[in-house]
Structure 1
Amino acid sequence: MNEESTGLAIGISIGVVIGVLLAILALFCFRYHRKRLQIGNSSSRRAANVPIRTNGADSCTILSDSTVGPESPVKASRSSMSSWFDGFRRSSVISASGMPEYSIKDLQKATGNFTSVIGQGAFGPVYKATLPSGETVAVKVLATNSKQGEKEFQTEVKMVMLLGRLHHRNLVNLVGYCAERGEHMLVYVYMSKGSLASHLYSDKNGLLGWNMRVRVALDVARGLEYLHDGAVPPVIHRDIKSANILLDESMRARVADFGLSREEMVDSQAANIRGTFGYLDPEYISSRAFNKKSDVYSFGVLLFEIVAGRNPQQGLMEYVELAAMNFDGKVGWEELADSRLEGNFDVQELNEVAALAYKCVNRVQKKRPSMRDNVQVLSRILKQRHNNKRNRNTLSTTTDEVAIDVDQLEGRSPRPEHTRQQSVDSTTESCEV
């Protein structure tokens, strides 16, 4: 009987201990779950309140990389980025980034109820708009059903805010944004002359002459040089192509579309190949590693596109390699010249531009020039053109002055015929010498 009582007491004691342990475990789990929720809410608030870089240092780790997805070393969830967008307050005229905020109602009116479509990107449509101030702008709208577009849109927001404070003349500048009722829009400077591609392949915009093509190439080079060497931290564009080069009223070129751009990092490894085929660096395709020289390769393809007026997605580089087999890479490139130019180009300039392009597309990245080198070469070409033009004008002016002197001699008071004729003959002989 005593043994039964003892066994019962032990059983009850064990049960009580197990019950207490379970209660403690349940309490611990409850507190842990509650703490996780508090941390999540706190992170969301920090992401909403500090969305951009300040003084070149990360103000928010969730935005420390340019894209969201498997290729990002620092991954950010879609919900966190949504919180970032929702953090903008519509009531404020100027956001924390210093960019004006526009309401949907304002942009709806400015775009004619979103009917003035002027382009289409991976993120969604682009509209032409006229603000109440009379300023004409371009409005990029994130399509609600575009998952890939949302990633590129988020990247572009980050990059344009990083670069927007500096306003380089060869980059398309952001002038405002809209984040209201789940709609996300970016407002850009309007580039009235459209894209470089539209001028190279469409007759409606008129022929883009050789002189203007070299000037456009220099503008693009300067924009890329700024991204690589002037921005802090340096930025790799990753999608240089003629469709992303826009021209303003004065036909000055600016680099646009930063949806694939990334800050230069020590580990620039991509899980997925991003960009536009035809412009992609072969080494990037094989190794998945990208850097500044990847942009240089794309720029070289763009230079050949400017020279030849051929689409890189339709065999341009194969055409270049065939032409390169016939010479040493410095001369003879005129056979690539766009037939629409009808021979109206400077042969020496064309060869220099094409030779530079061939260096840019070298298979070995280390042998490619930097964007600063490219700017220097193109600047020298234009400077030499200016000097040649000035020399021709000087020669023309000298010839005109001689002609005026002859006319003045002929207009003097009458003299014996043989004396006047002798004077003119003497002057003529002097001119010929």
Structure 2
Amino acid sequence: LFDNNNFEGEIPSTLGLVNTLEIVRLDRNSLSSTIPSNISNLKILFELHLSNNKLEGPVPDLSGMTRLQYVDLSNNSFDPSEAPGWFKTLPRLRELVMENCGLTGQLPSGLLDLPALETLRLKNNEFNGTLKVDNSANGHLQVIDLENNKITWATQPNNISLLLLGNPVCDIEAGLSSSKLCHSMSTLPGSYTTNMEDCADRACSGDLKPNPRTCQCQVPYQGELIFISPSFSDLSNASRFKELENSLMMQVLLDSVFICCLSFDNNNYLNMEVQFYPSDHEYFERMEIVRIGSTLGNQIYKAPNEFGPYYFIGNSYPFTDAPESRSKRLNKPEITGISVGSLILGFAILGLGFYALRQKKKAAKAIELSNRFAWNPHGKNSGTIPTLKGARWFSLSELKNATNNFSEDNVIGSGGCGKVYKGELSNGGGTVAIKRFQLQGFSQDGVEIKNEIEVLSRVHHKNLVGLMGFCLEKSEQMLVYEYVSNGTLRENLCGRGDIYLNWKTRVRIAVEAAMGVAYLHNHANPPIIHRDIKSTNILLDENLNAKVADFGLSKFVAEGGKEQGGKGHVSTKVKGTLGYLDPEYYMTNHLTDKSDVYSFGVVMLELITARLPIEDGKYIVREVRRALHSGGFDALRKQLLDPLLSDSDSDVGLTGFENFVNLALSCVEEMTTHRPAMSEVVKELECIAEQRPINNSATVEIKESSYHSSIDREVSSEYALFHYSGPYVVPTTVEPH
């Protein structure tokens, strides 16, 4: 992100060698000469911003950059030319902005048929001829801005804002001068504001404002959110900004948020005013303001992807406990209070002696707490680690050597808990993946790392990632896993490598991931609920076999259906990932294995569409249901099917597609009782993969071969299973579920 930096000279050709780039912003500089031809090597680039420079030569060839979603090349000095061929070959393109680029000829007919296109801005060019816009172009198209071109005739679409002011078609003689086609951009619907219709009659005084959810008069915490690289320019899309509101409420942990006054500044940064409302009281407490400011100021809050990076500027808050000036003389109660305070102070001074005697003990305790996770086979167990027998312990120096002292070049992933490094063990120990936890984003008592050790040491299945060992030394906490070479399912769906997942492979991945989760539910003892099933927690090995990973949020379920550490299935805090959360679990805190089923259903929809669960303010579950309701499976294929599948797999190639979709939707039913068990999901997916008819009425029994025969490796006596240290009695026989 190097926009608006007064850069001069050429764009270096080495830019095209950085093939891991996802966003390039070089707009509003003084860059000149031609755009390097090897820019097309950036195969996983999502956004390209090169507007408002002095670039010359031919319009760059962006063919093959199939992941592009946003392109802006406006206001440069390119050679006059017709529209480039790549205009109609970018299946994921959502917004194309090429204003004042010297483009001529007719608008390519295939451009308006791009499946994801929402906004097209091509004003101040030389496009001519006629323009026919089909109302059902792609179902997403909202704005076509062709002001100041040479269009002579155009149809008037119903649901698309077509702007033709300054074209011959808008001349008085053409008879369309009063048409909405010939209005300027300023006549389009205004920018989004949180709906306050229910509170229209509510008047509040002073700093009080009506809460948009309850209409109660409260004092909100106000500030400004500035997004520096949004991938859209339409500010009237209600679903997009409602999704932003929902993400703010869920991640900042508030019940009500108000957004207004959206605008782009001279830097093309998106500015908006935001108000956060207290849950119950009229005012926020001081610590709540500190928490909100910290969450936004330290980038803990993650906005939907299309909004990009941001920063937050908070206003001062009128606390009710501010000291008031008082000039009157002390009254009798105040004198009494001072006297009592003096007496207490005297006792406090006497206590100073005892305080001094305790300092040595406190210092020793502080040292112990600062190293509370330390453990090694030769030292004292801290007491917070599970009871282990025969576990593979790695020293800190051993893992430093394996990762070149935790070099950034070895980083293969990162998340809220820390980074994952690729490591090469000495003496032929092989390749491993090392998760290094960051304590500032971690629970103080190490629950997550203890959970992962507890879970992975007790379950062994070819579709669950294998734990090789751990390191808990000094202030470090690390887990060592088998290395899974082809990354996450999400990365492969996004095309971040050279791997193409065809339909048959995607179905097989679903089968294998489902088998891993079903093993946790049905064959682990006690049963285990994963709680964070998502595409980034499904890894693919060198043969594209699926392995479920990341058990930091997993829950053991005791006999009788009780969770570890809780009563029944009720959790004190909902955990999981936005977009995958079971709505019934979120609303009631009632966790069951059907919560994993819901999350897995979302992953199945990702396999179909390659879209994120929440993308452009749209929820994948709702969008799939809407498409099916509007036009059945044909509409679903046209509107949401991954373009890479639609381009390369014929209808014959998508064997079992409809059954796969129906199964996914049954997994994401609102009520848990309407969802299948994970064992049933495995059975039906196996039928789809083997092209056998699905028996919807039969009670599904899991084959022993589906689990026990698929265990990766025998566990040698040297690396025997960890002994379970939880509070439940583990029965010697496994009762059928």
TM-score (normalizing by structure 2): 0.39
- Describe the SS at the equivalent of 1:145: helix
* 2:628 maps to 1:321: no
User: Following TM superposition, by how much is the alpha carbon of 1:87 offset from its aligned partner in structure 2, in angstroms?
Assistant: 4.7
Q: Work out the CA distance in 2 between the residues paired with 1:311 and 1:97.
A: 41
- Describe the SS at the equivalent of 2:440: coil
User: Following TM superposition, by how much is the alpha carbon of 1:156 offset from its aligned partner in structure 2, in angstroms?
Assistant: 3.7
Q: Work out the CA distance in 1 between the residues paired with 2:378 and 2:414.
A: 26
* 2:580 maps to 1:279: yes
Give deviations 1:293-320, integer Å, cap 9, x for gaps.
1110011111011011111021212211
* Backbone CA RMSD of aligned residues: 3.0
* 2:595 maps to 1:294: yes
Partner of 1:146: 441
Partner of 2:506: 213
User: Following TM superposition, by how much is the alpha carbon of 1:384 offset from its aligned partner in structure 2, in angstroms?
Assistant: 2.2
- Describe the SS at the equivalent of 1:270: coil
4+ runs deviating over 6 angstroms: 79-82
Partner of 2:530: 237
Shift of the 313–130 alpha-carbon distance from structure 1 to 2, 3 Å rule, reads: same
Partner of 1:125: 419
User: Following TM superposition, by how much is the alpha carbon of 1:82 offset from its aligned partner in structure 2, in angstroms?
Assistant: 6.8
Higher strand share: 2
* 2:551 maps to 1:250: no
Partner of 2:462: 169
Q: Work out the CA distance in 2 between the residues paired with 1:240 and 1:370.
A: 15
Q: Is the 8 A contact 2:655 2:691 kept in 1?
A: no
Q: Work out the CA distance in 1 between the residues paired with 2:613 and 2:546.
A: 20
Partner of 2:388: 96
One-letter code aligned to 1:323: A
My pick for the range that moved more, 186-195 or 255-264, is 255-264
User: Following TM superposition, by how much is the alpha carbon of 1:206 offset from its aligned partner in structure 2, in angstroms?
Assistant: 2.8
* 2:552 maps to 1:259: yes
One-letter code aligned to 1:362: E
User: Following TM superposition, by how much is the alpha carbon of 1:154 offset from its aligned partner in structure 2, in angstroms?
Assistant: 3.1
User: Following TM superposition, by how much is the alpha carbon of 1:382 offset from its aligned partner in structure 2, in angstroms?
Assistant: 1.7
Q: Work out the CA distance in 1 between the residues paired with 2:574 and 2:388.
A: 34
- Describe the SS at the equivalent of 2:497: helix
Q: Work out the CA distance in 1 between the residues paired with 2:423 and 2:669.
A: 42
Partner of 2:92: none
One-letter code aligned to 1:365: T
Q: Work out the CA distance in 2 between the residues paired with 1:129 and 1:223.
A: 25
Q: Work out the CA distance in 1 between the residues paired with 2:537 and 2:369.
A: 29
Give deviations 1:44-91, integer Å, cap 9, x for gaps.
xxxxxxxxxxxxxxxxxxxxxxxxxxxxxxxxxxx89975x4354257
Q: Work out the CA distance in 2 between the residues paired with 1:82 and 1:268.
A: 33
User: Following TM superposition, by how much is the alpha carbon of 1:286 offset from its aligned partner in structure 2, in angstroms?
Assistant: 1.1
Identical positions, percent: 38
**Structure 2 unaligned spans of 5+:** 1-360, 362-367, 381-386, 693-737
Q: Is the 8 A contact 2:570 2:591 kept in 1?
A: yes
User: Following TM superposition, by how much is the alpha carbon of 1:171 offset from its aligned partner in structure 2, in angstroms?
Assistant: 0.6
- Describe the SS at the equivalent of 1:204: coil
Q: Work out the CA distance in 2 between the residues paired with 1:237 and 1:81.
A: 30
Q: What is the aligned counterpart of 2:612 among 288, 308, 311?
A: 311
Higher helix share: 1
Q: Work out the CA distance in 2 between the residues paired with 1:82 and 1:293.
A: 39
Partner of 2:116: none
Q: Is the 8 A contact 2:488 2:535 kept in 1?
A: yes
Q: Is the 8 A contact 1:228 1:234 kept in 2?
A: yes
User: Following TM superposition, by how much is the alpha carbon of 1:354 offset from its aligned partner in structure 2, in angstroms?
Assistant: 0.6
Q: Work out the CA distance in 2 between the residues paired with 1:327 and 1:378.
A: 25
Partner of 2:683: 376
Shift of the 307–127 alpha-carbon distance from structure 1 to 2, 3 Å rule, reads: same
Partner of 2:660: 353
Q: Is the 8 A contact 1:332 1:351 kept in 2?
A: no
One-letter code aligned to 2:414: Q
Partner of 1:110: 402
- Describe the SS at the equivalent of 2:575: coil
One-letter code aligned to 1:201: C
One-letter code aligned to 1:126: V
- Describe the SS at the equivalent of 2:691: helix
Q: What is the aligned counterpart of 1:137 among 410, 416, 432?
A: 432
- Describe the SS at the equivalent of 1:374: helix
User: Following TM superposition, by how much is the alpha carbon of 1:147 offset from its aligned partner in structure 2, in angstroms?
Assistant: 3.3
Q: Is the 8 A contact 1:333 1:351 kept in 2?
A: no
- Describe the SS at the equivalent of 1:275: coil
Q: Work out the CA distance in 1 between the residues paired with 2:377 and 2:477.
A: 13
Shift of the 80–170 alpha-carbon distance from structure 1 to 2, 3 Å rule, reads: farther
User: Following TM superposition, by how much is the alpha carbon of 1:368 offset from its aligned partner in structure 2, in angstroms?
Assistant: 0.4
Give deviations 1:212-256, integer Å, cap 9, x for gaps.
100100011001101111101111111111011011111100110
Q: Work out the CA distance in 1 between the residues paired with 2:458 and 2:589.
A: 31
Larger Rg: 1
- Describe the SS at the equivalent of 2:393: coil
Shift of the 253–86 alpha-carbon distance from structure 1 to 2, 3 Å rule, reads: same
Q: Is the 8 A contact 1:333 1:354 kept in 2?
A: no
Shift of the 134–255 alpha-carbon distance from structure 1 to 2, 3 Å rule, reads: same
One-letter code aligned to 2:423: A
User: Following TM superposition, by how much is the alpha carbon of 1:182 offset from its aligned partner in structure 2, in angstroms?
Assistant: 2.4
Shift of the 327–81 alpha-carbon distance from structure 1 to 2, 3 Å rule, reads: farther
My pick for the range that moved more, 209-218 or 159-168, is 159-168
- Describe the SS at the equivalent of 1:325: helix
My pick for the range that moved more, 298-307 or 121-130, is 121-130
Give deviations 1:103-127, integer Å, cap 9, x for gaps.
1111100001101111112221111
One-letter code aligned to 1:136: T
- Describe the SS at the equivalent of 1:86: coil
- Describe the SS at the equivalent of 1:122: coil
Q: Work out the CA distance in 1 between the residues paired with 2:471 and 2:378.
A: 8
Q: State how many pairs are aligned.
A: 307
Shift of the 240–126 alpha-carbon distance from structure 1 to 2, 3 Å rule, reads: same
Partner of 2:484: 191
Shift of the 312–81 alpha-carbon distance from structure 1 to 2, 3 Å rule, reads: farther
Bigger relative contact order (CA 8 A; separation at least 6): 1
Q: Work out the CA distance in 2 between the residues paired with 1:179 and 1:90.
A: 13
Q: Work out the CA distance in 2 between the residues paired with 1:381 and 1:301.
A: 18
Q: What is the aligned counterpart of 2:519 among 220, 226, 241?
A: 226
- Describe the SS at the equivalent of 2:413: strand
One-letter code aligned to 1:86: A
